[in-house]
Amino acid sequence: MLSVRNLQVSIDDNEILKGLSLEIKPGEVHAIMGPNGSGKSTLASVLAGNENYKVKEGKVFFEGKDLLDMAPEIRAREGIFVAFQYPVEIPGVSNINFLKTALAEIKSYRNLPPLEARDFLKLLKEKQKLVEFDASLTNRSLNEGFSGGEKKRNEIFQLAMLDPKLAILDETDSGLDIDALRIVAKGVNKLRSEKNAFIIITHYQRLLEYIIPDFVHVLYNGQIVKSGGKELALELEEKGYDWLKEISPTDELA
């Protein structure tokens, strides 16, 4: 589904990703862990199409198509969704209107008939329930005056509404209390299927107790230095990120 090959990315002349490769198949959940500044969020931003990040080298294919050639909205319509670490507040744009517009454009891109108003509302209610998103928030301006936790839950609510093929959760767990974390995880678990895939970017192992990944990758200094099963997350939690310095290939060279 997603194939990242030797991805090298910089921002303002700072090299952040230094040759990252990753293969993701439908039905899989991948966790990417790593210390601050290792490049986790950069990966999410590049996949979303943020033009502040410059791709120097490497290729990214999504279902065989060159992802890096696509505008952000095309990526979304193709089926990529990034739940952002810091969702933007947009006063004056209502959550509902925003979702209606987004869904309509995605449907039209996929040559699907537009949703009737009634079906849209039905879907809205169903997904609100699924991710336990407060209905009163749906009628408000997009993220305006939302608490940190509410913003994160709104990202998951959007994820449920737009039903992407590949969802990337960028530190969705940061700033969530344990109850909110459980709700978010429950929502994600209900959305998991044979056809879609998830990338969970996280700092802590905590979220992975609720969303069990198929693979765990450790990102350090712009590269994936270790990959393994779900037990790798526990090992990392136990040994701490200092452990990475021992296994990092750049350090080996030095």
Partner 1 sequence: MITEINNSLYDQFIADFEERAARIENESVYSLRKKAMEQFKLLGFPSTKVEDWKYTNVMPFLSADFTFKQPVNTNTTEVGIQQFRIAALECYQIVLLNGEYQPQLSDEIVNKNISVTSLKESYQEETFQKNFGQQLNLNKHHFGALNTAFFKDGLFITTKDNAVAEKPLHIIYLFDSDANLFIQPRHLFVFGKNSNTTLIETYVAANVNSKVFINSVSEITMGENASLHHYNIQTPHDGTVLINHTEVNQKDSSCYNNYCTSFPGADLIRNNLNVALEGENIGSHLYGLYLVADKQLIDNHTLVDHRKPHCQSNELYKGVMKENALGVFNGKVLVRKDAQKTNAFQQNNNLMLSSSAVIESKPQLEIFADDVKCSHGSTVGRFNEDALFYLRSRGISEEQAIALLINAFVFDVTEKIPIPAIQLHINKLIEQSLNELETVS
Strand bridging mode 29-33 / 215-220:
parallel
Close Cβ partners of 177 (under 8 Å, ≥ 6 residues apart): 149
Asked whether the beta carbons of 38 and 24 are under 8 A apart, the reply is: no
Q: Which is nearer to partner 1, 39 or 79 (CB)?
A: 79
Q: Whole-number minimum distance, CB 201 to partner 1, in Å?
A: 15
Q: Whole-number minimum distance, CB 77 to partner 1, in Å?
A: 5
Q: Whole-number minimum distance, CB 144 to partner 1, in Å?
A: 10
Q: Which is nearer to partner 1, 165 or 226 (CB)?
A: 165
Q: Which residues contribute to the site for partner 1 (CB under 8 A)? A: 48-51, 71-73, 75-77, 81-82, 84, 87-88, 90-93, 97-98, 101-103, 105-106, 109, 141, 158, 162
Q: Which is nearer to partner 1, 90 or 234 (CB)?
A: 90
Q: Whole-number minimum distance, CB 128 to partner 1, in Å?
A: 17
Question: Vertex 111, ends 107 and 117: CA angle to 5°?
Answer: 40
DSSP assignment of the chain equals: -EEEEEEEEEETTEEEEEEEEEEE-TT-EEEEE--TTSSHHHHHHHHHT-TTSEEEEEEEEETTEEGGGS-HHHHHHHTEEEE-SSPPPEEEEEHHHHHHHHHHHHHHHTTPPPPPHHHHHHHHHHHHHHTT--HHHHTSEETTT--HHHHHHHHHHHHHHH--SEEEEESTTTT--HHHHHHHHHHHHHH--SS-EEEEEESSSGGGGTS--SEEEEEETTEEEEEE-THHHHHHHHH-THHHHHH-HHHHH-
Q: Whole-number minimum distance, CB 93 to partner 1, in Å?
A: 5
Q: Which is nearer to partner 1, 102 or 115 (CB)?
A: 102
Q: Which is nearer to partner 1, 48 or 130 (CB)?
A: 48
Q: Whole-number minimum distance, CB 92 to partner 1, in Å?
A: 3
Residue with tokens 């990092």: 248
Q: Whole-number minimum distance, CB 242 to partner 1, in Å?
A: 34
Q: Which is nearer to partner 1, 81 or 215 (CB)?
A: 81
Q: Which is nearer to partner 1, 53 or 215 (CB)?
A: 53
